[in-house]
């Protein structure tokens, strides 16, 4: 089954927690803290692989989580960093953030892309020893790894895209000019998946052609199959518009040509500007008047016109040579550039995002990034509470509470943990 779109969740590994430990050795008094740092969590890496041609594997497994870094240990031992999790996808897959739609990566090259970075390991208590705090009983937890819900869209890497109504001869054309062997029959939607074929001009020159499943009127709005596969035309440098000039099925070739172009423009305005070559197919079944009328219509719009019969290969060689000539003048296959992260998302990723609300005299603070820090705070240890207070001050939470008029003795609910505010 050909699957060209999927949605998955990726979660990089959390960093390992720093250790709370004190040096203990016979005849050594007051050895001091020696808790080591946690290891770094594993990254999520995407890699293009030509052995894959569909995203069907992602229909059955939708969550990918990298390993957590190892916790620190005594004797200043740093925890082991976790290995990256490599996810292989077909070449041409575009990865987007499902929440915002921004492009995160285009897997069109061999270069691996890090999509989610593992969290750094937490600092051990050895880092918090000072001249006045010689026995720190706290350490920093590991930082959480990045987590995203992403959509995977396979956009075929083809130089030329064949477009046109169903049953106009696209499959027959690609079968006679390349080694591709699509299913061919005399009914609509014979081709249910895009078909790629390599067209060889000579030993040193070739290009990739894609047979896009038949478009119909309304494809841009989801009618027929076109809506599902129009994305595969986006990368094509050149479009060969195949039209049944014979009108054997009772359709007007001029009207067909206009409808398909309108659907391409509706889906993506850039496609309307893409260079086109018009292939008037089934010329062997058309009258001279039909051919000349359509030729005048197309050449009047400044487009190259070729009269072909894919079934008998008439005119196909001239069409292919012209296609190769035009491709020489066009830029490389389109790549989607990663888009910058919105500022609001950067603020959230920075770990300083929080929300303060007041209800029945209680100040509720919601800050998800504080949860791992709160796990390591010992309410009975004065130095640990001092460290936690500095976190609240540096993050701006204390300043926000004071702006909202909090008074000494008022209750603060921080992620479910309640305490009295002390000025």
Q: How far apart are CA 107 and CA 88, in angstroms?
A: 10
pLDDT score, position 25 = 77
Do 239 and 371 fall within a single domain? Answer: no
Work out the pLDDT band at 214, boundaries 50, 70, 90. low
Checking if the pLDDT of 32 tops 90, the result is no
Q: What count of residues does the chain have?
A: 423
Work out the pLDDT band at 135, boundaries 50, 70, 90. confident
Name every residue whose Cβ is closer than 8 Å to that of residue 212 and which is 6 or more positions away in sequence: 161, 162, 163, 170, 194, 226, 229, 230, 232, 233
Under DSSP, the state recorded for 383 is H
| Paired strand residues for 314 | 309
pLDDT score, position 351 = 54
Looking at every residue in the chain, the average pLDDT score rounds to 84
Do 317 and 374 fall within a single domain? Answer: no
Q: For 245-265, write each residue's pLDDT tens digit.
A: 988 877 889 998 998 888 888
Q: How far apart are CA 387 and CA 370, in angstroms?
A: 13
Whether 344 maps to a domain, the answer reads: no
Whether 137 maps to a domain, the answer reads: yes
Do 123 and 2 fall within a single domain? Answer: yes
Whether 360 maps to a domain, the answer reads: yes
Q: How far apart are CA 366 and CA 304, in angstroms?
A: 63
Burial (CB count <10 Å: 0-12, 13-18, 19+), residue 319: buried
pLDDT score, position 219 = 47
Helix axes 288-299, 253-267, angle to 10 degrees: 30
CB 266 within 8 A of CB 272: no
Domain housing 399: 350-420
Whether 204 maps to a domain, the answer reads: yes
Q: How far apart are CA 216 and CA 230, in angstroms?
A: 11
Q: Which has the closest alpha carbon to 206: 328, 313, 110, 333?
A: 328
Do 145 and 10 fall within a single domain? Answer: yes
Q: What percent of the chain has pLDDT over 90?
A: 34
Q: How far apart are CA 318 and CA 272, in angstroms?
A: 25
Beta strands in 224-325 (DSSP E): 238-244, 276-281, 305-307
Q: What would the mean pLDDT of 32-48 be, rounded to a whole number? A: 93
pLDDT score, position 184 = 53
Do 90 and 33 fall within a single domain? Answer: yes
Q: For 100-134, write each residue's pLDDT tens digit.
A: 888 999 999 999 999 999 988 888 888 888 777 77
Do 64 and 192 fall within a single domain? Answer: no
Domain count, the chain: 3
CATH code at position 358 = 3.30.300.350
Name every residue whose Cβ is closer than 8 Å to that of residue 40 and which is 6 or more positions away in sequence: 13, 15, 16, 69, 81, 82, 118, 119, 120, 121
pLDDT score, position 229 = 66
Q: How far apart are CA 186 and CA 168, in angstroms?
A: 9
Residue whose entry in the numeric block shows the structure tokens 């949605």: 7
Q: What percent of the chain has pLDDT over 70?
A: 87
Checking if the pLDDT of 242 tops 70, the result is yes
Do 256 and 405 fall within a single domain? Answer: no
Do 3 and 111 fall within a single domain? Answer: yes
Work out the pLDDT band at 240, boundaries 50, 70, 90. very high
Do 85 and 50 fall within a single domain? Answer: yes
Checking if the pLDDT of 91 tops 60, the result is yes
Work out the pLDDT band at 2, boundaries 50, 70, 90. low
Do 39 and 79 fall within a single domain? Answer: yes
Q: For 355-407, write each residue's pLDDT tens digit.
A: 888 887 889 888 777 776 776 676 777 767 777 888 888 888 888 899 988 88
If one counts every other C-beta atom within 10 angstroms of the C-beta of residue 61, the result is 10
Note if the pTM is more than 0.75.
no
Work out the pLDDT band at 185, boundaries 50, 70, 90. very low
Residue 295's SS3 state is: helix
CB 32 within 8 A of CB 62: no
Whether 341 maps to a domain, the answer reads: no
Q: For 54-88, write each residue's pLDDT tens digit.
A: 888 898 899 999 999 999 998 889 999 999 999 99
**Residue predicted with more confidence, 43 or 378:** 43
Q: How far apart are CA 41 and CA 81, in angstroms?
A: 6
Whether 79 maps to a domain, the answer reads: yes
CATH code at position 194 = 3.40.50.300
CATH code at position 76 = 2.70.210.12
Do 179 and 150 fall within a single domain? Answer: no
pLDDT score, position 280 = 93
**Residue predicted with more confidence, 32 or 82:** 82
Q: For 263-319, write each residue's pLDDT tens digit.
A: 888 887 888 788 999 999 999 898 999 999 999 999 999 999 999 998 899 999 999
User: Cα separations (Å) of 184 from 167, 211, 284?
Assistant: 9, 12, 19
Q: What would the mean pLDDT of 144-159 be, rounded to a whole number? A: 89
Do 178 and 315 fall within a single domain? Answer: yes
Checking if the pLDDT of 241 tops 80, the result is yes
pLDDT score, position 375 = 67
């Amino acid at each position: 089954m050909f699957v060209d779109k999927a949605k998955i969740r990726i979660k990089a590994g959390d960093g390992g927690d720093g250790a709370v430990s004190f040096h203990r050795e016979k005849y050594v008094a007051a050895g001091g803290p020696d808790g080591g740092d946690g290891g770094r969590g594993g990254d999520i890496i995407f890699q293009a692989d030509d052995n894959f041609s569909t995203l069907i594997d992602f229909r059955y497994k939708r969550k990918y989580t990298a390993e957590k870094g190892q916790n620190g240990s005594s004797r200043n031992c740093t925890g082991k960093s976790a290995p990256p999790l490599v996810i292989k996808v077909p070449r041409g897959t575009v990865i987007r953030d499902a929440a915002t739609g921004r492009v995160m990566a285009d897997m069109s090259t061999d270069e691996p892309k890090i999509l989610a970075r593992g969290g750094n390991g937490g600092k051990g208590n050895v880092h918090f020893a000072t001249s006045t705090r010689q026995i720190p009983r706290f350490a920093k937890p590991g930082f959480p790894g990045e987590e995203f819900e992403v959509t995977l869209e396979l956009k075929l890497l083809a130089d030329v895209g064949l477009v046109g109504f169903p049953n106009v001869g696209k499959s027959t054309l690609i079968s006679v000019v390349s080694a591709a062997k699509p299913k061919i029959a005399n009914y609509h939607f014979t081709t249910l998946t895009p078909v790629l074929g390599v067209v060889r001009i000579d030993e040193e020159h070739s290009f990739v052609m894609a047979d896009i499943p038949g478009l119909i009127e309304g494809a841009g709005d989801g009618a027929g199959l076109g809506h599902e596969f129009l994305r595969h035309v986006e990368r094509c440098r050149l479009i060969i518009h195949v039209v049944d000039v014979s009108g054997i099925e009772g359709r007007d070739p001029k009207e067909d040509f206009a409808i398909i172009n309108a659907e391409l423009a509706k889906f993506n305005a850039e496609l309307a500007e893409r260079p086109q070559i018009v292939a008037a197919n089934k010329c062997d079944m058309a009258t001279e008047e039909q051919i000349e009328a359509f030729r005048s219509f197309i050449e009047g719009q400044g487009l190259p016109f070729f009269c072909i019969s894919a079934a008998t290969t008439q005119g196909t060689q001239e069409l292919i040579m012209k296609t190769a000539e035009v491709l020489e003048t066009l830029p490389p296959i389109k790549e989607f550039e990663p888009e910058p992260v919105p500022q609001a998302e950067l603020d959230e990723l920075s770990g300083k995002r929080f929300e303060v609300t007041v209800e029945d005299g209680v100040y509720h603070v919601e800050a998800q990034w504080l949860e791992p820090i709160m796990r390591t705070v010992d309410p009975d240890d004065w130095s640990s509470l001092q460290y936690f207070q500095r976190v609240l001050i540096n993050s701006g939470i204390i300043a926000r509470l004071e702006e909202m008029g909090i008074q000494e003795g008022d209750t603060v609910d921080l992620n479910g943990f309640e305490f009295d505010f002390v000025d």
